[in-house]
Amino acid sequence: MSAVMRNLVWVIIGVLGAVCLGVIALNRGETINAFWFIAAAAGVYAVAYRLYAGWIAARVMSADPGRATPAHLLNDGRDYVPTHRWITFGHHFAAIAGAGPLVGPTLAAQFGYLPGTLWLLAGAVLGGCVQDMIILWCSTRRNGRTLGQMARDEMGPIAGTAALIGTLLIMVLIVAVLGLVVVNAMKHSPWGTFTVAMTIPIAILVGIYMRTIRPGRVLEGSLIGLFLLLAATVGGGWVAQHPVLGPLFDFDGPELALMVIGYGLVAAILPVWLLLAPRDYISTFIKIGAILLLAFAVVILRPDMHMPALTRFVDGTGPVVAGSIYPFLFITIACGAVSGFHALISSGTTPKMIANEADLRLVGYGSMAMESFVGIMALVAACVLEPGVYFAINSAAGVVGATAEQATATITGWGFPVTPERMHELAAAMGESTLFHRTGGAPSLAVGMATIFAGAFGQGLLAVWYHFAIMFEALFILTAVDAGTRVGRFMLQDMLGNIWRPLGDTASYPSTVLCSAVFVAMWGYFLYIGVIDPLGGINILWPLFGISNQMLAAIALAVASTILVKSGKLRYVWVTAAPAAFLAVTTTVAAWEKLFSADPRVGFLAGADALAAKLAAGTLPAAQLAAAPKLIFNQRLDAALTVFFVIVLWVTIVEAVRISRRHIAGRSVPPLTETPRVPMGAVPAAGD
């Protein structure tokens, strides 16, 4: 195909994507077909990947296919391992795609389908995908250094210390939150627990097969892994119904928490090729396969989006997400558009696996674009539900009423009709006793996915599709826990290596085991306490998840901007500085709201003061008296931690600006720590 024809094809794709997006944005009818969302997303991602990502890779990063990567230079067979680009893509996608792209857009549907759709697309292609790819490039050029260590090396001890401590604490919070979501999803679910458990021996088998039995036979290993994974998925349903095997995989919360903690420790220590990479890779088959199947079902069924473009709750009075559309839409969607957690993966496990800099665009930009599409599909699944059903599932009893009659009356009064009978019928069809007050986003997402699947492939399997969706969510999230744990170990090693160099040696088994155990103990404590105590552990820190994650993204983009300036690429710094500025302002506004809003549902301090006043006046119900002091403490602690994270963010940004200005003025700054270029051909093959 000639260059003219190729350009014409991309022009046509771009025009079609823009037309579809315009239909979504300008539609003001009763409903709009969900097909438009699939077409718009596909067009936007395709053009952004081909043109914007291609331009960044060539001009901004100057990606060099002939330059040896750390995976070759430091190949130790454990952490640094040159890995096939599609396996690396699978690992990276599985690691970054946790709860965020599933749950965040589902909760943000409260505001209507339009705001979430626009942010998922624009935020990803201009911010999230850019962050992932450029941080991956920065780390790959620095022997796989973590984000905090890069901040210290490039910006000095002030910003570096703040970034190292801040990123480590945020990582502990994120992994513990993801672990709690996994535990809640698999609790008393033999099907989900069996399928997720089987991915571990399957991954080990595939890892050994592709490394020792049939080296380089990626297609063969992929087919074996896919077949076994599908068998485990189907077999999970049979196991769940078996009178003997079913109870063997039926665990309560504390048992599952200990299992997740133990798995995290093992995954952080074992060679990356043996468990982590193949497990993430084969899990990606289910993740992407289920999302593409959902998109296919939408194309066949073409369901209407029943949620309006904008709801009455954009003013901050919503029952699902407390706070106005700005800034809380951006904090709620988080990972589907931009995620600081991704920067930790991009500077953790993945740069140690990149076999060629030509893979940076696929792995960095492509993985995040795929995650954004997951977010679009989650939003579609939520918005095809009747709004009354959506709000009945996602609204807490304290907001709409404890009984079915009270809840449906309140929601109908908002202008979203729903009846107790409709909710009871839906719960029975899904195999559940009730769907009222199933907050958190995951249950309503499962209902939406099951509704679409059943509409396209048969209503008789509605309950099966619902439980498949629940299992799918658990599988989706656990892969972020194991990769996050390994990255946390790298972060801890980098931090401790500044104090005593041997502790920073990733090739040292004693350092690896020690730092893995310490990091797992950190997030494992919060996870376990959160499981056994609904007011303790990670439940205390849960409200900080969205804000801290977005602040981390702003920090990562600020570090990347500094590196671009010091690399002589000042004219391109807007690529990272623009999204960094938007995120910094947005998260600071959100933090201000969480600290000082007079609405007790929004502000930490207002919530604590309101509860303290009721406690002092003796107006609290007897059932809330015992928990009130702990809730008051939790909210005040969250307020203090919010202040800490804001300080870390702005210290990093101020230092980034200071170092950049000094460099532009020709004054002394910390030296650029990019490693010297070594030609790929100069690196001896493994074993030579």
Residue 460: pLDDT band with limits 50, 70, 90: low
Residue 166: pLDDT band with limits 50, 70, 90: confident
- pLDDT of 283 over the 80 cut: no
Contacts of residue 528, Cβ cutoff 8 Å, sequence gap at least 6: 254, 257, 258, 261, 537
User: Are 22 and 14 contacting, i.e. CB atoms less than 8 angstroms apart?
Assistant: no
Q: Coil, helix or strand for 627?
A: coil
Predicted confidence at residue 343, as pLDDT, reads 93
Give the C-alpha separation, 374 to 368, whole Å. Answer: 10
- pLDDT of 514 over the 50 cut: yes
- Residue scoring higher pLDDT (180 or 554): 554
Query: What one-character DSSP code corresponds to residue 349?
Result: T
Residue 401: pLDDT band with limits 50, 70, 90: confident
Predicted confidence at residue 572, as pLDDT, reads 97
In degrees and rounded to multiples of 5, residue 506 shows phi and psi of -70, -15
Interval 537-549: pLDDT, tens: 777 777 888 899 9
- pLDDT of 480 over the 60 cut: yes
- pLDDT of 313 over the 80 cut: yes
How is the chain split among helix, strand and coil, in percent rounded to 5?
75, 0, 25
User: Are 346 and 140 contacting, i.e. CB atoms less than 8 angstroms apart?
Assistant: no
Interval 330-348: pLDDT, tens: 999 988 899 998 999 999 8
**Lowest mean pLDDT segment, chosen from 132-141, 146-155, 477-486, 571-580:** 477-486
Give the C-alpha separation, 59 to 229, whole Å. Answer: 41
Q: Residue 362: which of 677, 63, 40 has the closest Cα?
A: 63
Interval 10-29: pLDDT, tens: 778 878 888 888 888 887 76
| % pLDDT > 70, the chain | 96
From residue 68, alpha-carbon distances to 55, 83, 147, 345, 675 in Å are 22, 13, 21, 20, 10
Burial of 686 (0-12, 13-18, 19+ CB in 10 A): exposed
Q: Residue 551: which of 162, 111, 291 has the closest Cα?
A: 162
- pLDDT of 521 over the 60 cut: yes
Predicted confidence at residue 426, as pLDDT, reads 86
Give the C-alpha separation, 376 to 123, whole Å. Answer: 12
Within a 10 A sphere around the Cβ of 553, how many other Cβ atoms?
29
Give the C-alpha separation, 42 to 50, whole Å. Answer: 12
User: Are 610 and 619 contacting, i.e. CB atoms less than 8 angstroms apart?
Assistant: no
Q: Residue 68: which of 77, 59, 80 has the closest Cα?
A: 80
Q: Coil, helix or strand for 665?
A: coil
From residue 35, alpha-carbon distances to 44, 311, 364, 400 in Å are 14, 21, 27, 32
Q: Coil, helix or strand for 83?
A: strand
**Which single residue is written with the structure tokens 């002091």?**
629
Predicted confidence at residue 539, as pLDDT, reads 75
Query: What one-character DSSP code corresponds to residue 32?
Result: E
From residue 412, alpha-carbon distances to 92, 394, 407, 419, 458 in Å are 43, 15, 9, 8, 30
- pLDDT of 520 over the 90 cut: yes
Contacts of residue 509, Cβ cutoff 8 Å, sequence gap at least 6: none
**Which single residue is written with the structure tokens 């619902």?**
466
Contacts of residue 324, Cβ cutoff 8 Å, sequence gap at least 6: 314, 315, 316
Query: What one-character DSSP code corresponds to residue 357?
Result: G
Predicted confidence at residue 476, as pLDDT, reads 65
- pLDDT of 206 over the 70 cut: yes
**Which single residue is written with the structure tokens 């007079």?**
598
Interval 236-271: pLDDT, tens: 878 888 888 888 888 888 999 999 999 889 888 888
Predicted confidence at residue 687, as pLDDT, reads 43
Which two three-digit tokens encode residue 270? 């074992």
Predicted confidence at residue 685, as pLDDT, reads 61
Q: Coil, helix or strand for 638?
A: helix
Type and span of the H or E element at 634: helix 628-664
Give the C-alpha separation, 332 to 543, whole Å. Answer: 11
In degrees and rounded to multiples of 5, residue 78 shows phi and psi of -130, -60
- pLDDT of 186 over the 70 cut: yes
- pLDDT of 47 over the 80 cut: yes
- pLDDT of 562 over the 70 cut: yes
What are the DSSP calls for 547-578, one per residue? Answer: HHHHHHHHHHHHHHHHHHHHTT-GGGTHHHHH
Q: Coil, helix or strand for 53?
A: helix
Contacts of residue 671, Cβ cutoff 8 Å, sequence gap at least 6: none
* HEC letters along 466-480: HHHHHHHHHHHHHHH
- pLDDT of 579 over the 90 cut: yes
In degrees and rounded to multiples of 5, residue 79 shows phi and psi of -105, -40
Own/partner pairs for 314-320, CB < 8 Å, 24+ apart?
314/111, 314/112, 314/115, 316/599, 316/602, 318/110, 318/111, 319/110, 319/391, 319/394, 319/395, 319/396, 319/399, 319/400, 320/107, 320/110, 320/391, 320/394, 320/395, 320/439
Rg (CA), the chain: 24
